[in-house]
Amino acid sequence: MAVSTTSFAQGCEGGAADDEALRVFGFLQTEYSSTYGEETSSTFGFRRARLGATGNIPYDFSYYVVMEMSPMLSSNGSAYLLDAFITYGRYEWAKVSMGSFKNPFSMDLGGTACSGLHTIFRSRAADQLVVPQRDMGIMLLGGDRSTFMQYRLAYMNGAGLKKDNNNSKDVIGRVVFHPLDFLYVGGSYRYGYPTNDDDERTSYALEAEVNLGSFRAMGEYIVDQGEYDRSLGGGCGGELIALGDERSGAYMQAMYMTKWNIEPVFKYEFFDAGLNDYKEDIMTFGVNYFFNDWTRLQVNYLYRAEAPTEVKNDGLYVQMQVRF
């Protein structure tokens, strides 16, 4: 946890220490889920299973490579390359990364590591609207959570982890300000061409986070307009639902770390697909238990309500995570 992470904000894990040429890292998330529909179903599986390597190369260059090995996330059940980028980091406020990395849009996606999520699932808005979640491109970045400002500005294919489908590119940016010790506020913007050189897509997001000792609260509102690539699916291996011309969503979550390493979590979110009046409201009641800095148990109960027709799909999810 003490190694430098400022060069690798676009990846899921921290980078190598300044004098490390190679560091192998990864994390494993095993899960049990039980959903309560017309018939109750339950299963064991992997949420994520990742193995990577990072390091520094004299002078001022670093690399970061991650493989996703969970058969639950691949379309054919095989491991695949997730992140792979090279960073030139001589200038603290003008670092440059090029390769495959996380889309720098949204606090939920671009600002939160997969192994650092406070609930098992990302927000519904991020999984449906911030797609693709990973892409090929180049990024200019600077600052971190300790500075007054941090920014990410990327120029990306917009096609995800596959061959580009047009000649146009997506412009994506996120900026976060840290005006007070306990407060972060920021926003994200995306403008792109998801299917061809004519169909446009524009996205906005506003975010805020408050840290008061052991108490944390955060929230984000996302608006997405225009065309989208239906072949990309949803985030983290999920299915993309049918969307209208303008869709939106938001989430708010709060948590409190007790002296027993037990962290209760509550999360409320809504999602408006912008088509056929379809909306979702989701409440997550959760608790996290930290055995140590590397091992965590998460238990979440999700209450889901849909409109205009509600579906029985509440669920209980238990996840064990180990980082190394």
Where in the chain are the domains?
6-323
End-to-end CA distance of the chain: 10
1 falls in which pLDDT band (50, 70, 90)? very low
Tell me which amino acid residue 302 is: L
Q: How many angstroms from the chain centroid is the CA of residue 125?
A: 11
9 falls in which pLDDT band (50, 70, 90)? low
| CATH 2.60.260.20 assigned to 6-323 | no
Residue 257 confidence (pLDDT) above 60:
yes
Q: Please name which of 10, 26, 131 lies closest in space to residue 68, comparing C-alpha atoms.
A: 26
Provide the pLDDT for residue 75: 67
Provide the pLDDT for residue 78: 83
Task: Return d(Cα 21, Cα 4) in angstroms, integer.
Answer: 13
7 falls in which pLDDT band (50, 70, 90)? very low
CB 176 within 8 A of CB 135: no
Q: Are strands 149-156 and 23-36 parallel, antiparallel or unpaired?
A: unpaired
Residue 19 confidence (pLDDT) above 60:
yes
